[in-house]
Amino acid sequence: MSCGITGRINCYSLIPWIIEFSYYDEASGIGQMFTHSVGTEEYNVFWGTMLKDSRFTAWPAGDTYQVYPGPLPSIRFEKLNEGIQDFEKIRLLREEYKAKRKSENWKGLKLHGQI
């Protein structure tokens, strides 16, 4: 069955409360757009239960979010933040140890990819 789609289909939403699906139908030469706004069943299925159950098809719970509406941070976001803080702390300690010429201390503080 041919539906006129031979290229990529773009699914995107520029505004978080609107679900938008659009594609160019090469068979008819017409751009198609489908939008689901607040209150529609399609919108409620995707956004409505996000804070109660964040599973999304085959992905595990929370796998689609870094920050929830509110804004409420996710565990993934918190761990990302901790990693950035750890990296910065190691960088600052290395600079401090180098400035004080304490080479025995800073040699043990290796950043990923550095020797």
DSSP structure string for 20-71: EEEEEETTTTEEEEEEE-TTSHHHIIIIITTTT---BTTBPTTTT-SEETTT
Question: How open is the CA angle 8-12-14, to the nearest 5 degrees?
Answer: 145
**Does residue 41 lie in a domain region?**
yes
Q: At residue 13, does pLDDT exceed 50?
A: no
Q: At residue 63, does pLDDT exceed 90?
A: no
Is residue 44 domain-shared with residue 65, that is, in the same domain?
Answer: no
Q: At residue 1, does pLDDT exceed 50?
A: no
Is residue 69 domain-shared with residue 102, that is, in the same domain?
Answer: yes
Instruction: Please enumerate in sequence order all residues whose Cβ is within 8 A of that of 11, keeping only pairs 6 or more positions apart, or say none.
Output: 20, 21
Is residue 97 domain-shared with residue 68, that is, in the same domain?
Answer: yes
Is residue 5 domain-shared with residue 30, that is, in the same domain?
Answer: yes
Mean pLDDT value across residues 28-39: 67
Is residue 97 domain-shared with residue 72, that is, in the same domain?
Answer: yes
Segments forming the whole domain that contains residue 93: 60-110
Q: How many domains does the chain have?
A: 2
Predicted TM-score (pTM) of the model is 0.42
**Does residue 53 lie in a domain region?**
no
